[in-house]
Amino acid sequence: MAAGGFCKLPNGTVVVALNLPSPAADRPAGVRVLVHAQNRARALTRLRNLGLRAVYLRGNAAPPTPDEITAVLHHPDGLIWRTAPGTGVLGTDLTVELWHPIRALLRRPTPM
């Protein structure tokens, strides 16, 4: 199962972070998804409504970092992703990737 965690913000909302296997075949092996929502249940519902049906948050083993919280709060959708640490092109944590909107991950490839 995927590692993940959450952080409750001073205004009562939460940021949920999940490490998931990539839903797209042409994407890297794993992705880190961040969701900003009113509560944990709504955050997971947002992901399930996008087609990520088997998403669960058990425990708080990998909560979002302050940088991740800032990134998701500044995104208009409040739902972003990037390659999970350690699964970059070089297979190291040294590769830095920008955050992407969730629709870029779930986009269906156009048939050729």
- Tens digits of per-residue pLDDT, 28-86? 578 899 999 999 999 999 989 988 888 888 889 889 999 999 999 999 989 999 887 75
Which of 34 and 26 is assigned the larger pLDDT? 34
Say how many domains are in the chain: 1
Residue-range definition of the domain harbouring residue 20: 4-106
Higher pLDDT pick, 84 / 87: 84
pLDDT at position 38: 96
Q: Is the pTM of this model over 0.95?
A: no
Residue type at position 37? A
With a cut of 80, say whether residue 95 has pLDDT above it.
Answer: no
Residue 73 lies in a domain: yes
Q: Is the pLDDT of residue 90 over 50?
A: no
In a domain, residue 111? The reply is no
Residues 6+ apart with CB under 8 A from 33: 17, 18, 19, 20, 47, 79, 80, 81, 102, 105
In a domain? residue 81: yes
Domain assignment of residue 112, yes or no: no
